[in-house]
Chains A and B, each alone.
Chain A
Amino acid sequence: MKPFAYERPHDAAGAVATVTADPDAAFLAGGTNLVDHLKLGLAAPSTLVDVTGLTSTEITDLPEGGLRIGAGVRNADFAADERVRARYPALAHALLAGASGQLRNMATTGGNLLQRTRCVYFQDLTTPCNKREPGSGCSALDGWARHHAVLGATHEPADVACVATHPSDMAVALVALEAQVRVLGRDGERAIPLTDLHRLPGDDPTRDTTLAHGELITAVDLPASPIAAHSTYRKVRDRASYAFALVSVAAALAVDDGGTITDARVALGGVAHVPWRATAAESALVGAPATDDTYRAAARAELVDARPVESPRGGTAFKLPLVTATLAAALRGLAENSAQEAR
């Protein structure tokens, strides 16, 4: 681990000023990903600027009925909040499906959004990786590809290829529930849809987000949403607990008395460089009967441009039927719940 300075500014604006002024400085919050990166040699900041206590650790009601989650709220407290459990069950489920009890006590809302991919090649300094070392190549393309992308990845040219996935569960539910992120920069605070925070690798896989260096997430806003109370999160992984998603689905569904879908929200995890809002699936669902055929057609619509990794040592083609089955299972469960409530 390279030596670094440690600072604890008096307020968030001071933290932003310090990091903005030093291209090698980094924010520290829960540290669950960054401290690991220090040990792995993936990160070598000049200065760690501790923002613990500088952003809110509270969940507050918004005037229009939504919730504001301070960036410093720990994942465990976020999941346990009674308003979140009752009004945004997909989000509580997603938070609880992530990491372990200890990590959820440490990890913050802001840090969870900014965690980096767990691609084994990104984390292994001895292998080529365009995200870690621009132009070196992508080892996953002909390597051990399993947790990698099927949507929105860059397969070529070789010097910018990246098939990494975003690892967060929480972010998938937040994207489905149309959250906004509040960001503090040198010129003040701004709000952006969460779908605009993360970015596809494009021709620069080194950048995970659209944030400028020194910009700090201060809060996440959840809009009031009747459909969110009928939401769920379904995660498929290699072991029953404490593992990253192979595929996950966050979904919310409204079905009328005649069994027709009137509204839908769908996001996918484990399939892309971003938590993937599945707008094509949503369009295919609304107005259609709440049946398995509809759910599968919605998955097919979303996967029309899918391109799995086809590596001699594994690949991600298995994710295409897995997305379809997981999405169908999630929607089937939601439709059954609303039918039971109608009775």
Chain B
Amino acid sequence: MKLDLTLTVDGHHHSLTVDTRTTVLDALREHLDITSPKKGCDHGQCGACTVLLDGRRTLSCLSLAVAHDGAEITTADGLAPDGELHPLQQAFVDHDAYQCGYCTPGQICSAVGMLDEAAHGAPSVVTDDLTGDVRLDRAEIAERLSGNLCRCGAYAHIVDAVEQVAR
């Protein structure tokens, strides 16, 4: 079964026709040639496919495209619309927060979404006082980004980069 849908990706409007089995990730990569979201595990375990979907960090590999008709999606590519790096992208460069770089677009989208959640007062499981203010120390950053794996093990520098922007 094929269905028509529209997606707004990084500010650009797209109309497409997809099989119902198509994930948002495959719609982006295979139908729209937008390859900054990466396919890692394709089972929701690694976070490489993370995009901001209607403003929230989301695993595009576990999202069916037909269930997100009309969605607004921001990829890591879209965070630097005119080639000017987003502060988190710049922080990743400053801190050498990657090795192979495959997980990086997902890490950055996840971190952007996470900072927004924290700015709205969302606690994490390591927050001492569930009803108090959120202070993003290293333990908080690591916990909140635990859904993004880095097989190169660049975690220490990733936390450095996110800490720079969280301050």
Contacts and interface: CB of A to CB of B under 8 A. Distances in A.
A79 B143 CA distance: 15
B131 A102 contact: no
A86 interface: yes
A21 to B, nearest CB: 18
A38 interface: yes
A31 B62 contact: yes
Nearest to B144: A101
Contacts of B20: 3-6, 48
Nearest to A97: B125
A103 interface: yes
Interface in A1-47: 1, 3-6, 28, 31-32, 35-36, 38-40
Interface residues of B, number: 40
A241 B21 contact: no
Given A96-B123, A105-B58, A3 B19 contact: yes
A92 B131 CA distance: 10
A303 interface: no
B59 interface: yes
A50 B147 CA distance: 25
Contacts of A4: 1, 20-21
Contacts of B67: 6, 28, 31, 50, 52
A39 B43 contact: yes
A40 B43 CA distance: 9
A339 interface: no
Contacts of B1: 3-6
A1 B125 CA distance: 35
B121 interface: yes
- Which one of A99, A102, A106 has the greatest number of beta carbons of chain B within 10 Å? A102
Given A3-B20, A35-B23, A242 B147 contact: yes
Contacts of B117: 76, 80, 101
A92 B110 contact: no
A262 interface: no
Contact of A38 (B21, B47, B56): B21
Interface in A73-131: 76, 79-80, 82, 85-86, 89, 92-93, 96-97, 99-103, 105-106
B147 A103 contact: yes
Secondary structure class of chain A's binding surface, majority of residues: helix
Contact of B146 (A31, A76, A100): A100
A276 B116 CA distance: 36
Nearest to B49: A102
Contacts of A39: 42-43
A38 B62 CA distance: 10
A242 B126 CA distance: 13
A52 B58 CA distance: 15
Contacts of A86: 130-131
Given A32-B44, A97-B125, A103 B146 contact: no
B63 A106 contact: yes
A6 B63 CA distance: 13
B3 interface: yes
Nearest to A233: B125
Nearest to A94: B125
Nearest to B139: A240
Minimum-distance CB pairs A-B, first 10? A100-B147, A241-B146, A96-B125, A242-B146, A80-B122, A85-B130, A6-B20, A105-B56, A35-B62, A97-B125
16 contacts: A5-B20, A32-B44, A32-B59, A32-B62, A35-B63, A39-B43, A80-B122, A96-B127, A100-B47, A101-B57, A101-B117, A102-B110, A103-B62, A240-B143, A240-B146, A241-B125
Given A50-B67, A76-B122, A106-B63, 11 more contacts: A4-B1, A4-B21, A6-B66, A31-B67, A35-B62, A80-B121, A96-B123, A100-B147, A101-B146, A103-B62, A105-B58
